[in-house]
Amino acid sequence: MPDAVRRESLVVTRREFIRAAAAIGGGLALTLDLQAQEGGAPPAMRPHALKPPSAFIQISADNTITIVTPAVEMGQGGHTAMPMIIMDELDGDWERLRVLDAPAAPVYDNPMMGQQATVGSFSVRGWYAELRRVGAAAREMLVQAAAKEWEVPANECSVSRGTIAHRPTRRRCTFGSVAVRAAGLPVPQQPTLKASGDFTIIGTSPRRVDIAAKVDGSAHYGIDIRLPDMLYAAIKACPTFGGKIRSFDDSAAKQMPGYRATVALPDAIIVVARSYWQARKALDTVEVQYDLGRLASLDSAEVSRRLRAGITEPGEVVRHDGNVQHALAGAATVLEAVYEVPYLAHACMEPMNCTVRGDSEACEVWCGTQMPQAAQAAAAAVFGLPASRVTVHTQYLGGGFGRRGQADYVAQAAAAAKAVGRPVKLVWTREEDIQHDFYRPAAAIRFRGGIDSTGRLVALECNVATSSAPDFGGPARAAFYTGGVSDTTYAIPNVRVSGVNKDIGIRFGFWRSVNDSHNPFMLEGFIDEVAHHLQQDPYRFRRSMLQHPDGRRQLAVLDLIAAKAGWDHPAPGHFFGISAFAAFGSFIGTVAEVSVKDKFVTLHRVVSAIDCGVAIHPDNIQAQLEGGMVYGLTAALRGEITLEHGAVRQSNFNDYPVLMLADMPRFECYIVPSTAPPSGVGEPGTAPIAPALGNAIYAATGERVRSLPLSKYGFTLVSARA
């Protein structure tokens, strides 16, 4: 989620109290009381009757430790990282862990960004402090219960892997054996937390809990749900954004085998049938007349024209250090460059889908979602039910990347289920998925850099124009969509960043790494231009602008990647490009090593490093940085959604191509040891490959890449193994 949202939610000072919750079948269950409290008021321990689904942890008499994770699992490791944080403080037995997805409920709202959302690399950094308290409180209660039973002082007891021991009297018991007793004890609100040196699980890499089911086909995704009496639905939406269905003729569909119903939405036709294939075939026969709407003549050239007009407008100023106008006027040299990026689709491997069963009393939703309460609200609105009557069964997500933070597909499935009065599974085609996404916006930036007579970059002016921005219930603010530029930590005395939202009408999407998916590409490209203009080494030029306290961690990452890449000693014919910046609370950097011949780019090696504070699960951090790099590299090389007559031209993996095994570079990844609070991991890795690669191509060819994808310039990736 955007930083702008986060900053606002942080204004609310919210204290969270740990409460005991009734456990199913006896045992100890704890939850967090998220009711807003003022300042440091002491915890008010009220009677409560919470049901276990609102708990975060439940320890049963059979020693099973059930952890309800507020982070969904979309491959980023949330189902493992969340339990690790609790289990470490608890000293629980990892082998007895059972993980459940949280239902839609405000108790699971992320404390940092204020919503129940697995987005914005917020899960670990938002939940770290609170989940440690939950684990530590449970541990103290279990120890107290054992000590009481043994009539010994609690502080003489030790805990290891789910077993409590009192050495002086040689007594031992399991968590499960005292869980019922512990549940009757007062809940410690400020339990003692471990020193980071005492962690036994955090910082190790236990096997991810979802791995085994994902190698034998038993893992369940939204698309795999099958309910009794369930019907299947296929959908086709109006090709243009903002277009509507004017009329349709489904008389042929009605004659097709298995056909059950046609459901007309304002902007899409759904056909429901006995089987999915029958629904698809029947839908193909429906003849639809569209009102294509106001964007019917929009094409990508027009988007580009409007963005390039936007960067000349005054815009909303979000940062102004010193006096840029004055500094530019007095500069010995002014460099100017315009950068631009296209729309991008997410292309999750699992096409959008949702299964809904509901009536006038209640409704159930099965889907992969990054925002269960948004899914709940979408279904509730369709059925005219209060949210409390809608149960969301979150499944594994076959990719999220920001796309599954939207609930459009939930509303559609709900509409179909309501219309036919039976459970319905709606599955989009890949074509619908590519053509009706919420897109990473096309954007452009005009940079002006002022260099003084001593060769210092003394002024930086950044005019940002975006084609869309999220609706936070008010006008889109430039503070959000200039992120990745406006928060640069380079020491430049005069900096001015402004933004213009051209609001072209293509719906906005949070796309893995959000603004950092494009703004740092542009800024780090321009910084590289300045370095080359000054005939300075691009790595050392960046170094020189990070010699201040706020640049310390970024500098360490920059130095690390340069050292690991062997920056000063490239192999003959090989060239390096570098990029480093802050993203999602972390510090990230990448060196790309290339050789280029006749526009054929060989990417020999990618070296990345991150300082993400306490590294919860190092192996998974490496996986996320590598996966992020691949996602960013696909976009840098080939990713482009274009518009023609108001519709998306691309349709499937043939014309929206993504990287495959043969394209993979060697990847090295380093984690800077840190005791700082944990920060984002899932998204930062996506961002630095595009600028590093663009800068490397410049080093190799002298050709400056100012827009993406690289295929536009005729550059093609060839395998390093060819």
Partner 1 sequence: MFKLTINGTEHSIDADADTPLLWVLRDEVGFTGTKFGCGKGLCGACSVLFDGELTRSCIMPLGTVAGHAITTIEGLSEHSDHPVQRAWIAESVPQCGYCQSGMVLAAAALLKRTPDPTDADIDTITNICRCGTYNRIRKAIHRAAAEMKAAK
> Rounded to 10 degrees, what is the CA torsion of 22, 24, 30, 33?
-50
Tell me the pairing of strands 424-427 and 443-451.
Answer: unpaired
Q: Is 49 in the site for partner 1 (CB under 8 A)?
A: no
The size of the interface with partner 1 (CB under 8 A), counted in residues, is: 65
State the nearest-atom distance from the C-beta of 376 to partner 1, in Å.
Answer: 22
State the nearest-atom distance from the C-beta of 429 to partner 1, in Å.
Answer: 6
Q: Site mask, partner 1, residues 205-244, x = CB under 8 A?
A: --xx-xxxxxxxxxxxx-xx-x-----x------------
Q: Is 423 in the site for partner 1 (CB under 8 A)?
A: no
Options 103, 162, 398, 449; binder of partner 1; rule CB under 8 A: 398
State the nearest-atom distance from the C-beta of 82 to partner 1, in Å.
Answer: 16
Amino acid at 577: G
Q: Site mask, partner 1, residues 701-720, x = CB under 8 A?
A: ------------------x-
> Rounded to 10 degrees, what is the CA torsion of 14, 18, 21, 25?
140
Tell me the pairing of strands 457-466 and 494-501.
Answer: parallel
Q: Is 664 in the site for partner 1 (CB under 8 A)?
A: yes
Sequence-ordered list of residues with C-beta below 8 angstroms from that of 447, at least 6 positions apart, any chain: 335, 336, 337, 338, 339, 460, 461, 462, 463, 522, 523, 526
Three-state SS for 271?
strand
State the nearest-atom distance from the C-beta of 580 to partner 1, in Å.
Answer: 20
Q: Site mask, partner 1, residues 58-87, x = CB under 8 A?
A: ----------------xxxx----------
Q: What are phi and psi of 132, to 5 degrees?
A: -65, -40
Q: Is 649 in the site for partner 1 (CB under 8 A)?
A: no
**Residue numbers 622-641 binding partner 1 by CB under 8 A:** 623, 626-631
Q: Token pair for residue 421? A: 């009065």
How many whole angstroms separate alpha carbon 243 and alpha carbon 298? 12
- Cβ proximity to partner 1, 93 vs 619, nearer residue: 619
Q: Is 278 in the site for partner 1 (CB under 8 A)?
A: yes
- Residue 339: beta bridge partners? 445
Q: Site mask, partner 1, residues 466-505, x = CB under 8 A?
A: ----------------------------------------
How many whole angstroms separate alpha carbon 171 and alpha carbon 5? 51
How many whole angstroms separate alpha carbon 127 and alpha carbon 56? 11
Q: Is 439 in the site for partner 1 (CB under 8 A)?
A: no
- Cβ proximity to partner 1, 8 vs 600, nearer residue: 600
CA atoms within 13 A on the CB side of 345: 28
- Cβ proximity to partner 1, 451 vs 636, nearer residue: 636
E strand or H helix that includes residue 125: helix 123-150
**Ranges assigned E (strand) in 294-434:** 316-321, 333-341, 353-358, 363-367, 390-394, 424-427
Options 662, 677, 712, 714; binder of partner 1; rule CB under 8 A: 662
Options 348, 557, 565, 578; binder of partner 1; rule CB under 8 A: 348
State the nearest-atom distance from the C-beta of 216 to partner 1, in Å.
Answer: 4
* Piece of the chain touching partner 1 by CB under 8 A; list 192-200, 659-667, 670-678, 706-714: 659-667
Options 88, 350, 461, 528; binder of partner 1; rule CB under 8 A: 350
State the nearest-atom distance from the C-beta of 651 to partner 1, in Å.
Answer: 9
Summarize the chain as % helix, strand, coil (round to 5): 35, 25, 40
Three-state SS for 438?
coil
Q: Is 396 in the site for partner 1 (CB under 8 A)?
A: yes
State the nearest-atom distance from the C-beta of 669 to partner 1, in Å.
Answer: 10
Q: Is 427 in the site for partner 1 (CB under 8 A)?
A: yes
State the nearest-atom distance from the C-beta of 587 to partner 1, in Å.
Answer: 21
Options 326, 388, 653, 712; binder of partner 1; rule CB under 8 A: 653
Question: Are 433 and 521 contacting, i.e. CB atoms less than 8 angstroms apart?
Answer: no
Q: Is 179 in the site for partner 1 (CB under 8 A)?
A: no
Q: Is 277 in the site for partner 1 (CB under 8 A)?
A: yes
* Piece of the chain touching partner 1 by CB under 8 A; list 20-28, 106-114, 117-125, 395-403: 395-403
- Cβ proximity to partner 1, 33 vs 663, nearer residue: 663
Which of 716, 677, 680 shows the shortest CA–CA distance to 514? Answer: 680
Q: At what angle do helices 123-150 and 78-90 cross, to 10 degrees?
A: 30
How many whole angstroms separate alpha carbon 92 and alpha carbon 201? 10
Sequence-ordered list of residues with C-beta below 8 angstroms from that of 65, at least 6 positions apart, any chain: 57, 58, 59, 87, 90, 92, 93, 96, 97, 98, 162, 175
Q: What is the DSSP letter of 180?
A: H
- Cβ proximity to partner 1, 551 vs 632, nearer residue: 632
* Piece of the chain touching partner 1 by CB under 8 A; list 16-24, 159-167, 530-538, 617-625: 617-625
Q: Is 429 in the site for partner 1 (CB under 8 A)?
A: yes
* Piece of the chain touching partner 1 by CB under 8 A; list 246-254, 496-504, 568-576, 616-624: 616-624
Q: Is 158 in the site for partner 1 (CB under 8 A)?
A: no
How many whole angstroms separate alpha carbon 117 and alpha carbon 696? 37
How many whole angstroms separate alpha carbon 91 and alpha carbon 113? 28
- Cβ proximity to partner 1, 191 vs 665, nearer residue: 665
Q: What are phi and psi of 245, to 5 degrees?
A: -80, 125
Q: Is 612 in the site for partner 1 (CB under 8 A)?
A: no
State the nearest-atom distance from the C-beta of 73 to partner 1, in Å.
Answer: 8
Q: Is 405 in the site for partner 1 (CB under 8 A)?
A: no
Q: Token pair for residue 516? A: 């950092």
- Cβ proximity to partner 1, 222 vs 243, nearer residue: 222
- Cβ proximity to partner 1, 142 vs 225, nearer residue: 225
State the nearest-atom distance from the C-beta of 652 to partner 1, in Å.
Answer: 5
Most distant pair of Cα atoms in the chain: their distance: 83
Q: Is 654 in the site for partner 1 (CB under 8 A)?
A: yes
CA atoms within 13 A on the CB side of 415: 19
How many whole angstroms separate alpha carbon 658 and alpha carbon 635? 8
Question: Are 258 and 275 contacting, i.e. CB atoms less than 8 angstroms apart?
Answer: yes
Options 255, 275, 453, 547; binder of partner 1; rule CB under 8 A: 275
State the nearest-atom distance from the C-beta of 213 to partner 1, in Å.
Answer: 8
Options 175, 526, 667, 715; binder of partner 1; rule CB under 8 A: 667
Q: What are phi and psi of 719, to 5 degrees?
A: -65, 140
* Piece of the chain touching partner 1 by CB under 8 A; list 51-59, 144-152, 247-255, 427-435: 427-435
Options 309, 349, 362, 571; binder of partner 1; rule CB under 8 A: 349
Burial class of residue 430 (count of CB atoms within 10 Å of its CB; 0-12, 13-18, 19+): middle
Q: What is the DSSP letter of 155?
A: G
State the nearest-atom distance from the C-beta of 694 to partner 1, in Å.
Answer: 19
State the nearest-atom distance from the C-beta of 627 to partner 1, in Å.
Answer: 4
Contact positions toward partner 1, by CB under 8 A?
74-77, 207-208, 210-221, 223-224, 226, 232, 257, 275-278, 281, 347-351, 396-401, 427, 429-430, 619-620, 623, 626-631, 652-654, 658-664, 666-667, 719, 721
